[in-house]
Amino acid sequence: MNETVRLETRIGADEAAAGGVLTIDLAALAENYRILCQTAAPAGVAAVVKADAYGLGAARVVPVLHEAGCRDFFVAHLIEARRLAAIRPRDSRLYVLNGLLPGGEAVCANIGAIPVLNSLDQVQRWSALAIARAMTLEAVLQVDTGMARLGLSLAELQALAADPAALSGIRLTMIMSHLACADQPGHEASPTQLSVMQAASAFFPGLPVSFANSAGVFLGPDYRGALARPGIALYGGAPTLAGNPMRPVVRLDVRVIQTRTVPAGTAVGYGGTHVTTGETRIATLAAGYADGLPRSLSNRGAAWFDGVRLPILGRVSMDSLMVDVTALPAALPPGALVELIGPSQTLDAIASDAGTISYEILTALGQRYHRHYAFPASRASGQGQS
Ligand SMILES: *Cc1c(COP(=O)(O)O)cnc(C)c1O
Q: What is the pTM of this model?
A: 0.94
Q: How far is CA 193 from CA 155, 176, 179, 234, 242, in A?
A: 15, 12, 7, 24, 20
Whether residue 1 is annotated as binding a ligand: the answer is: no
Euclidean distance between CA atoms 175 and 227, whole angstroms: 10
Helix (H) or strand (E) holding 72: strand 72-75
In this prediction, residue 42 carries a pLDDT of 97
Q: Which amino acid is at 57?
A: G
Q: What is the mean pLDDT of residues 194-221?
A: 97
In this prediction, residue 367 carries a pLDDT of 95
Give 255-304 pLDDT, tens digit per residue: 999 999 999 999 999 999 999 999 999 999 999 999 999 999 999 999 99
Q: By the 8 A CB rule, do 39 and 228 touch?
A: no
For the CA of 50, the closest atom of ligand 1 is 1
Residues labelled catalytic: 50, 270
Q: By the 8 A CB rule, do 324 and 278 touch?
A: no
- Ligand 1: does its nearest atom lie under 6 Å from the Cβ of 48? yes
CA dihedral 240, 289, 19, 314 (to 10 degrees): -100
Q: Are strands 308-313 and 302-305 parallel, antiparallel or unpaired?
A: antiparallel
DSSP conformation letters of 159-227: HHHT-GGGGTTEEEEEEE---SSTTSTT-THHHHHHHHHHHHHHHSTT--EE---HHHHTT-GGGT-SE
**At residue 383, does pLDDT exceed 70?**
no
**At residue 3, does pLDDT exceed 90?**
no
DSSP conformation letters of 4-35: HHHHHHHHHHHHHHSSEEEEEEHHHHHHHHHH
Euclidean distance between CA atoms 13 and 242, whole angstroms: 42
Euclidean distance between CA atoms 90 and 27, whole angstroms: 23
- Ligand 1: does its nearest atom lie under 6 Å from the Cβ of 44? no
Euclidean distance between CA atoms 231 and 73, whole angstroms: 10
- Ligand 1: does its nearest atom lie under 6 Å from the Cβ of 229? yes
Percent of the chain with pLDDT over 70: 95
**At residue 77, does pLDDT exceed 90?**
yes
Measured by CA distance, the residue closest to atom 4 of ligand 1 is 231
In this prediction, residue 233 carries a pLDDT of 98
Give 82-111 pLDDT, tens digit per residue: 999 999 999 999 999 999 999 999 999 999
Q: Is the peptide bond before 329 cis (omega within 30 degrees of 0)?
A: no
Closest C-alpha to 375, from 53, 16, 65: 65
- Ligand 1: does its nearest atom lie under 6 Å from the Cβ of 280? no
Residues whose CB is less than 8 angstroms from the CB of residue 377 and which lie 6 or more positions away in sequence, other chains included = 27
**Torsional sign, CA 319, 322, 328, 331:** positive
Q: By the 8 A CB rule, do 61 and 29 touch?
A: yes
Whether residue 149 is annotated as binding a ligand: the answer is: yes
Q: By the 8 A CB rule, do 283 and 325 touch?
A: yes
For the CA of 214, the closest atom of ligand 1 is 9
Measured by CA distance, the residue closest to atom 6 of ligand 1 is 231
Euclidean distance between CA atoms 13 and 15, whole angstroms: 5
Closest C-alpha to 230, from 172, 183, 175: 183
Under the phi-then-psi rule, with left for phi > 0, alpha for psi from -120 to 50, and beta for the rest, what region is 24? beta
Q: By the 8 A CB rule, do 130 and 168 touch?
A: yes
- Ligand 1: does its nearest atom lie under 6 Å from the Cβ of 19? no
Helix ranges (H only) for 247-373 are 347-353, 358-364
Measured by CA distance, the residue closest to atom 12 of ligand 1 is 178
Q: Which of 65, 118, 178 to mutate to test the pocket of ligand 1 (most atoms within 8 A of CB)?
A: 178
Q: N- to C-terminal Cα distance for the chain?
A: 20
Euclidean distance between CA atoms 80 and 74, whole angstroms: 10
**At residue 67, does pLDDT exceed 70?**
yes
In this prediction, residue 63 carries a pLDDT of 97
Euclidean distance between CA atoms 47 and 100, whole angstroms: 20
Q: By the 8 A CB rule, do 75 and 84 touch?
A: yes
Beta-bridged to residue 95, according to DSSP, are 74, 114
In this prediction, residue 10 carries a pLDDT of 57
Is residue 380 very low, low, confident or very high in pLDDT (cuts 50, 70, 90)?
A: low
Domains of the chain: 26-235 (3.20.20.10), 249-368 (2.40.37.10)
Euclidean distance between CA atoms 347 and 13, whole angstroms: 28
